Structure 1
Amino acid sequence: MSLTAEQQAEIARSRSETRETRRVVAEGLEARLYEAVPVLDHGFVRVIDYMGDDAAIVQAARVSYGQGTKAARDDAGLIRYLMRHWHSTPFEMCEIKLHVKLPVFVARQWIRHRTANVNEYSARYSILDREFYIPAPENLAAQSTVNNQGRGAVLEGAEAAEVLRILKEDSTRAYDHYEAMLAQDDQQGLARELARMNLPANIYTQWYWKIDLHNLMHFLRLRADAHAQYEIRVYAEAICELVKAWVPAAYAAFEDYRLGAVQFSGPGMACLRRMLAGETVTQETSGMSKGEWREFEAALKG
């Protein structure tokens, strides 16, 4: 992670300040506020602000369901009930704002989640830093032979070394040309909004990203999954730790009913019932396609 001495001093200054407030605070997240959590080679995630805690979820739910719920369930039990039955609006009462530094190609995948408020660093106004994501050797992999959007075996030896050489040289050359095109010395220079088009997708960008807890958990369910692309998954995993500190009861329910759970289709449930009854079921007798059957088997194996 690349933070300048000035940036580190600003973070330390922010973390040293305390203020009186009548707002509810989540003590676990207060301890992590403004802290830069390293991700990848130059990236990070920081919590800038948040609203609400586990109690805010319960408060919203009891407004919805009436006071009778309070005697029937404790707070954690109610949160688990809400999660189990997909009652989403109480979780929308909590929000979090993150400062994220990430490669552009990860940002383009991330921005597909259109339920957040985003403000990205402007390369029309400012000059981007010379920072590129270069994968660690263990994360260089060939194309999967069974999944068109996934990875297969890890590249090794001379082939891996050549890929790393190309990535580093291309990134350096592109940034050298970017700098050369900008206004400097006696040349008029190309506008920044045009010069940036020559930069590769592994250059780092930054943004502020604000989202409510319900939509954040949807993001995490997809991006913290083992099948998600490694480069976005590590960001999701870092955010999971922050959410655990923020709303521990909600996160525990999320782990049990979303992250650690699987969903079966109607044909899948029918096959499960047949199996539990002692019948041998194959892909040919399941009524599922080969792809569906492969996913069904993978879900059973865990």
Structure 2
Amino acid sequence: MSLTQEQLSEIEAARSTPRPTLRAVSEGMEAHLYRAHPVLDHGFIRVVDYMGDDAAIVQAARVSYGAGTKHVSNDEGLIRYLMRHWHSTPFEMCEVKLHVKLPVFVARQWIRHRTANVNEYSARYSILDREFYIPAPEQLAAQSTVNNQGRGEVLTGAEAARVLEMLKSDANRSYDHYEAMLSQEGQQGLARELARMNLPANIYTQWYWKVDLHNLFHFLRLRADAHAQYEIRVYAEAIAACVKDWVPLAFAAFEDYRMGGVTLSGKAIAVLKRRLAGEVVAQEDSGMSKGEWREFEGVWG
């Protein structure tokens, strides 16, 4: 994990001068404020700011001013009801702002979640550091034979060594050329906004990412899932650990209904009813496609 000396000084200054506040405070999230959690080889996530807590969700749902928010069991029941019935607005009352350092190719995948506010480090204005994501050997895998966007068996031996060497040498060569193009020694030097186009997708960038809890849960449901790409999944898992401490009641409901739950189609429900009635149902007479049936059997056998 690489924080600049300026960033470290900024964090230390912020942590050394706490201020009293009248706003809602989550003790769990306070512990994460300004602490960088390492991800991958050079990346991290850190909580810069947040708004709201479990009580804020309940307050918004009841449109109250603190009424009823002291009864944890009642609050938990209401939050679970809201999650179970897909009520989104109360969860939008909580927000979090993160500072994230991540490889560019992960950022391009991440930015598909368009329901957040993002401000990225500008390579038009500043020079990127010589930092690249190089996968650990156990993350070097062949193309999956059953999933067109996933990984299969891990590469081993000479092939794994050759791939790692190419990743390292190509990244460093591209950065060498980047520096050579920018250099003003004996030449004008190429503009930063043009020189950056020669950099590889595994170079690290940074951004501030602000999102409400409803949309953050959607992000985590997709990116913290076991089927998500490893490199973005580890970021999602690091964020999820912070969210669990921030809004424990809401996160427990999210884990139960979203991460641990299953959405059934009308056809799947019909098949389950037929099975419960003692009927043997095959894919051919289920009304489901082979892909749907494979997913159905993956859950229900």
TM-score by length of 1: 0.95
What residue number does 2:98 align with? 98
Q: Secondary structure at the match of 2:209?
A: strand
What residue number does 1:233 align with? 233
Whether the 8 Å contact between 1:95 and 1:210 is mirrored in structure 2 is yes
Is the counterpart of residue 242 in structure 1 residue 246 in structure 2? no
Whether the 8 Å contact between 2:37 and 2:44 is mirrored in structure 1 is yes
Amino acid aligned to 2:79? I
What residue number does 1:187 align with? 187
Whether the 8 Å contact between 2:69 and 2:75 is mirrored in structure 1 is no
What residue number does 2:124 align with? 124
Q: Secondary structure at the match of 2:63?
A: helix
Aligned-residue offset at 1:6: 4.3
Is the counterpart of residue 260 in structure 1 residue 260 in structure 2? yes
Whether the 8 Å contact between 1:222 and 1:228 is mirrored in structure 2 is yes
Amino acid aligned to 2:292? E
Mark the CA change 1:131 to 1:70 in structure 2 (over 3 Å): closer, same or farther.
closer
Q: Secondary structure at the match of 2:97?
A: strand
What residue number does 2:21 align with? 21
Whether the 8 Å contact between 1:98 and 1:209 is mirrored in structure 2 is yes
Aligned-residue offset at 1:109: 0.5
Whether the 8 Å contact between 2:46 and 2:99 is mirrored in structure 1 is yes
What residue number does 1:8 align with? 8
Which ranges of structure 2 fall in alignment gaps of 5 or more residues? none
Aligned-residue offset at 1:4: 3.6
Aligned-residue offset at 1:183: 3.2
For residues 186 and 119 of structure 1, the distance between their equivalents in structure 2, rounded to whole angstroms, comes to 35
Amino acid aligned to 2:215? N
Q: How does 1:197-236 map to 2 (within 5 A)?
A: 197-236=197-236
Amino acid aligned to 1:164? L
For residues 182 and 292 of structure 2, the distance between their equivalents in structure 1, rounded to whole angstroms, comes to 52
What residue number does 2:137 align with? 137
Q: How does 1:33-182 map to 2 (within 5 A)?
A: 33-63=33-63, 74-182=74-182
Amino acid aligned to 2:208? Y
Deviation per residue, 1:122-149 (Å, 9 max, x gap): 0000000000001111111111111111
Q: Secondary structure at the match of 1:74?
A: helix
Whether the 8 Å contact between 2:59 and 2:69 is mirrored in structure 1 is no
- Give % identity: 79
What residue number does 2:278 align with? 278
Amino acid aligned to 1:297? E
Whether the 8 Å contact between 1:15 and 1:35 is mirrored in structure 2 is no
Whether the 8 Å contact between 2:56 and 2:94 is mirrored in structure 1 is yes
Whether the 8 Å contact between 1:174 and 1:200 is mirrored in structure 2 is yes
Deviation per residue, 1:101-131 (Å, 9 max, x gap): 0000000000000000000000000000000
For residues 174 and 282 of structure 1, the distance between their equivalents in structure 2, rounded to whole angstroms, comes to 55
Aligned-residue offset at 1:292: 1.0
Amino acid aligned to 2:25? V
For residues 52 and 70 of structure 2, the distance between their equivalents in structure 1, rounded to whole angstroms, comes to 19
For residues 37 and 15 of structure 1, the distance between their equivalents in structure 2, rounded to whole angstroms, comes to 16
Cα RMSD after superposing both structures: 1.7
Amino acid aligned to 2:78? L
Q: Secondary structure at the match of 1:118?
A: strand
Bigger mean CA deviation after superposition, 287-296 or 122-131? 287-296
For residues 106 and 177 of structure 1, the distance between their equivalents in structure 2, rounded to whole angstroms, comes to 23
Mark the CA change 1:74 to 1:171 in structure 2 (over 3 Å): closer, same or farther.
same
Aligned-residue offset at 1:9: 3.5
Aligned-residue offset at 1:207: 0.3
Amino acid aligned to 1:25? V
Number of aligned residues: 298
